[in-house]
Amino acid sequence: MQRRQKNLLGYNIDLFSVDEALDYSNSLIDSAKSSHIVTINPEIIEYANKHEDFAKILKEAELVIPDGIGIKIGLKINGEDVQRITGIGFAHSLLENAQKNNIPVALVGAKPHVIEKAYENLKQEMPELNIVYKHDGYFKDCKQEVIDGIKNSSPKLLLVALGAPMQEEFIYELKSILPSTLMIGIGGSFDVWAGEVQRAPEIWQKLGLEWLYRTIKQPERFKRIFPTLPLFVYNVIKEKFTKNTAMSECPRSIKTRS
Ligand code: UDP
């Protein structure tokens, strides 16, 4: 399956539909090396612009799905009307797919009681799901044990919920340790699956306004989105305008012999 991507401010974003992204994920699970799905948004792009090592992680990801509303707007400005793929929704589909195909799964992240509750709820919802390993996300003092635990249980799918950028850095480290695992960073998804945090009502989700709902419910998130989101959109417009100007100038630079 061929990747079709669009570059926004230096970062390639895959233009798959949800079903295509799931098919592509299955091909990554079947491949003979580990891979990384990034759920990209303006906040992590802003962080990557300030941290070269992190930018490299994003650029080397095997699949980059348009999660943030800012990414959807940025792609639209560039003529691509893609379906937004939320990290939590996509991770849930990956789990359903894992249950259906008996793919071994590992879960790492969130507070100890949260991961336990999320595990119980997932097992109730998907009784055949083969969860081979789980650990909370507060393992600074026993990182090596967690890495060994993941490695020894040989998952083919690993969900990591440490928040960005920590989860992407941890996945990148694991890429060279695990022989063939598909990994995705899923932020606060375990908190939602544990019932600790409510997702936005469906109508907000359908309108693509879940980020706004979460910001209203957790006002401290406001400073994560502003001014990052409008600034991102401004920079995308600026980039497009600059590209167009450069293109329209191009014929004038061709010299002809007289
Ligand atoms: N977390 C963790 N270990 C840490 C710091 C955070 O496991 O050292 C977890 C935290 O408990 C939460 C998740 O990482 O479950 C981050 O959630 P947040 O809502 O910040 O992520 P977002 O969805 O906004 O990316």
User: Which pLDDT score, from 0 to 100, does residue 247 have?
Assistant: 65
Structure tokens that stand for 133 in this block: 């390993």
- Which residue's alpha carbon is nearest to atom 25 within ligand 1? 187
How many residues are given for the chain?
A: 258
159 CA to centre of ligand 1 in angstroms: 12
Coil/strand/helix, residue 101: coil
Could you give the C-alpha distances from 189 to 21, 89, 176, 197, in angstroms and in order?
19, 9, 25, 9
Q: Is 215 in the pocket of ligand 1 (CB under 6 A)?
A: no
User: Which pLDDT score, from 0 to 100, does residue 58 have?
Assistant: 98
User: Which pLDDT score, from 0 to 100, does residue 20 have?
Assistant: 97
Instruction: Tell me how crowded residue 86 is: count the other CB atoms within 10 A of its CB.
Output: 21
44 CA to centre of ligand 1 in angstroms: 14
Q: Is 162 in the pocket of ligand 1 (CB under 6 A)?
A: yes
Q: Is 138 in the pocket of ligand 1 (CB under 6 A)?
A: yes
User: Which pLDDT score, from 0 to 100, does residue 244 have?
Assistant: 76
- Which residue's alpha carbon is nearest to atom 16 within ligand 1? 163
Low-confidence ranges of the chain (pLDDT < 70): 247-258
Q: Please report, to the nearest 10 degrees, the dihedral formed by the alpha carbons of residues 98, 150, 90, 190 taken in order.
A: 110
- Which residue's alpha carbon is nearest to atom 5 within ligand 1? 162
Q: Is 147:177 a contact under the CB 8 Å cutoff?
A: yes
d(CA 121, CA 127): 10
Q: Is 185 in the pocket of ligand 1 (CB under 6 A)?
A: no
User: Which pLDDT score, from 0 to 100, does residue 256 have?
Assistant: 52
d(CA 60, CA 53): 11
d(CA 39, CA 242): 27
Work out the end-to-end distance of the chain between its first and last CA atoms, rounded to an integer number of angstroms: 50
User: Which pLDDT score, from 0 to 100, does residue 57 have?
Assistant: 98
User: Which pLDDT score, from 0 to 100, does residue 253 have?
Assistant: 53
